[in-house]
Structures are given as C-alpha cells and as structure tokens.
C-alpha cells in the first residue's frame, strides 16, 4: 500500500476502536472500490475492534459508500448514515445545456471539495443528483451555483424512483461458464481478451471486493461492478441450454454513472 492507503487503513481501524470503546456510531468518508477493499483488509487486522458494520452510499445502486461502525442491535439505538441527496438543476432549463457526470465532478472539485466527501453522481438529462455527507450538503446549497455555462440551484431531494426503475433492466445471457471474464464480456459487449486489463487494473469488484483473477466463478446473488461501465447482479441460474451453455438471469444497472 502507498502512504495514502496506509493512512486510510489506520483510520478505519481507529474508527472501529472508537465505536467499540465509546459505544457510539462512527462513520468513514465515502470510499470507492479501492477504498472498500482496504476496509475489508483492515477488518482482518488483529487490531480491528469486534464491532458490527455496514456499507451504504445513499441507495442500493451506489458504488461509492460510507462505512458505519455499529448497528441498532449492538448499540441499543439507531443513527442513520449522514448522507444527503442534493438535486442540481438549471435556473433556466429552456436555455440550459445537458452536461455529463465528468462536468459535474469537475465543478464540484473546482469548489475545493475533497472527493471523499461526496459519493455517486447520477445525471438525469438536465438535472443531477449527488450524494454527499451532511456537512458538505450545507456548503453546496449555498455555493454550488454553476455547472459549465449553466447557472444552477441546489436543493435537498431524493433520487426519483422512476430513475432507479429505468436504470435496472433484466436480461438473460448464455455463456460457456459463469467465469467473471466471460460474463462481463457478454454483458458489456466487449471481447473476453479485452476484459483482462480491467482485472489487472483493479477495476472489477464482486460484492464489494476487488478481484484480479478473471477466472473467478460467479454465484447467484453476486453483484459485479466494473468501473466506468456500471454493475450487474447475478439473479438466477437458468440452467443449461440445449447446446450445453449456461443461461444466466441478470439485473443490469444500465444507467449507472461513470466514476
């Protein structure tokens, strides 16, 4: 691990110890796939306190997530994740331009906001929905006033159910085996050979864990994320075809944002 990763590793262990010793909820910043993998490594450290945890990013389709140390059964009380959803919309939609995820990300960074303080960004035509921590939400409501040439306004909102439903499509594919590289190639219409670099560059995760072995066999219930493409869930094994291939029923998050 590099120095930044080591600091995160140490910080996560300290948060577990604080939650355990003081019987209080503790939260990490938003973690990407690499950060979540460091968290799972920290969980195996002998210094990691025996406190329950869960990960959440604002809704179930989010890739960037916070870690919450503690739960209601363990603590005896409940504290929600300190996450707010900010809706960003043009002041004058008639004259506004549609911008991409990268444009919104660039505008946020130009305000000096640390990337770890906000999660996924969902772009819905003229509008965008950004998950941020509570302290950052207040700052954005007052200071996030433009994206590109669009003057914008911000408000506390929720990602529309219609957007979530439209983002999920159910498909059935046929593959020779449930190997991760074969399934990814089929879902995203890329060659199996071209998937290799995504594994070696640590862009593939299964159930939140980065995997580098492209021959990993997927099981029902597994959720696979491919950075830059989105993610899908292996819902059901449909059994063999007449030609001996495997039917796999998947849910694909087709409108997942690029990260």
pLDDT tens column, 224-246: 988 878 889 999 888 888 888 89
Domain count for the chain: 3
Same domain, 96 and 151: yes
| CATH code at position 20 | 3.30.1370.50
Same domain, 113 and 182: no
Same domain, 156 and 171: no
Residue 167 has pLDDT above 70, yes or no: no
pLDDT of 168 reads 75
| CATH code at position 176 | 3.10.290.10
- Dihedral of the alpha carbons of 6, 10, 11, 14, in degrees to the nearest 10: 180
Domain range for 124: 83-161
Does residue 258 belong to any structural domain of this protein?
A: no
Same domain, 135 and 212: no
| CATH code at position 121 | 3.30.70.330
Same domain, 127 and 52: no
Does residue 259 belong to any structural domain of this protein?
A: no
Residue 259 has pLDDT above 70, yes or no: no
pLDDT tens column, 42-91: 999 999 999 999 999 998 878 899 999 999 999 999 999 999 999 999 99
Same domain, 177 and 242: yes
Does residue 130 belong to any structural domain of this protein?
A: yes
Same domain, 90 and 23: no
- Name the strand (E) or helix (H) holding 225: strand 223-226
Same domain, 50 and 20: yes
Lowest mean pLDDT among 152-166, 171-185, 190-204: 152-166
Q: Which residues contact 124 (CB under 8 A, 6 or more apart)?
A: 160, 163
Regarding pTM above 0.85, the answer is no
In sequence order, which ranges of the chain are alpha helices (DSSP H)? 3-22, 33-43, 72-75, 101-110, 134-143, 161-166, 180-188, 196-200
Same domain, 248 and 175: yes
CB-based contact 60:76 (threshold 8 Å): no
CA distance from start to end of the chain: 22
Percent of residues, the chain, with pLDDT higher than 90: 70
């Amino acid at each position: 691990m590099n120095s930044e990763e080591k600091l995160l590793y140490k910080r996560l262990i300290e948060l577990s110890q604080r939650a355990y010793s003081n019987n209080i909820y503790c939260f990490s910043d938003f973690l990407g796939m690499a950060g979540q993998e460091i968290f799972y490594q920290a969980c195996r450290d002998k210094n990691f306190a025996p406190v329950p945890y869960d990960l959440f990013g604002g809704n179930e389709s989010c890739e960037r997530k916070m870690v919450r140390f503690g739960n209601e059964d363990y603590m005896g009380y409940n504290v929600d994740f300190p996450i707010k959803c900010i809706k960003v919309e043009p002041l004058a939609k008639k004259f506004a331009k549609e911008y991409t995820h990268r444009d919104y990300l660039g505008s946020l960074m130009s305000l000096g906001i640390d990337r770890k303080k906000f999660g996924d960004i969902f772009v819905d035509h003229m509008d965008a929905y950004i998950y941020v921590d509570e302290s950052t939400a207040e700052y954005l409501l007052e200071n996030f006033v433009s994206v590109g040439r669009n003057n914008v306004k911000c408000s506390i909102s929720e990602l529309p159910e219609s957007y979530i439903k439209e983002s999920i499509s159910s498909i059935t594919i046929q593959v020779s085996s449930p190997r991760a590289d074969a399934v990814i190639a089929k879902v995203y219409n890329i060659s199996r050979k071209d998937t290799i670099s995504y594994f070696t560059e640590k862009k593939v995760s299964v159930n939140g864990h980065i995997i580098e072995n492209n021959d990993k066999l997927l099981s029902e219930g597994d959720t696979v994320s491919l950075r830059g493409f989105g993610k899908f869930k292996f819902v059901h094994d449909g059994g063999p075809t007449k030609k001996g291939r495997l039917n796999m029923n998947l849910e694909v998050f087709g409108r997942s944002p690029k990260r």
